[in-house]
Amino acid sequence: MPTVTMTVNGKQVSADIDPRTLLADFIRVNLDLTGTHIGCDTSQCGACTILVNGDAVKSCTMLAVQADGAEVTTIEGLAENGEMHPMQAAFKEHHGLQCGFCTPGMVMSAIDLVKRHPNPDEATIREELDGNICRCTGYHNIVKAVKAAADATGG
């Protein structure tokens, strides 16, 4: 079995795994970081989105061995010193969630979105979040939250 080593939320982790292990399963099962959700088996929902070397990736579309040596950030790694990341705070402030199932993936995608579009308009936010599905259809407040986070971080 191959050994994978990566940095997850600032800590180096290493494990011998079946080479077919998906990155999403490695994170949830091997590392017990269950904030990364799995909401489909068709790579459509985006609930499993994490950051790999700073870029949003659907972790169900990547093998864990492909992330060997990478810097990975999951929703559990965003808060610093007990303070929510500005994107998390904006989702809370603007009620950008209902059941919360899509929220970790939405937040991770939104962080990548704002990195690439520091001052996004509504159309850009909606287009960029195309790969994240919210079954509660709370898109309106999600868009408001992303815009507010971009404004708060100096976009």
Residues at the contact surface with ligand FES, assessed by CB under 6 A? 38-40, 43-48, 58, 60, 97-103, 134-136, 138
d(CA 64, CA 145): 31
Pairing status of strand 55-58 against strand 49-52: antiparallel
Q: Least distance (Å) from ligand FES to the CB of residue 152?
A: 21
Choose between 79 and 136: whose C-beta lies nearer to ligand FES.
136
Choose between 27 and 134: whose C-beta lies nearer to ligand FES.
134
Q: Would you say 74 and 33 are in contact if contact means Cβ atoms under 8 Å apart?
A: yes
Q: Least distance (Å) from ligand FES to the CB of residue 155?
A: 24
Q: Least distance (Å) from ligand FES to the CB of residue 119?
A: 25
Choose between 21 and 81: whose C-beta lies nearer to ligand FES.
21
Choose between 16 and 101: whose C-beta lies nearer to ligand FES.
101
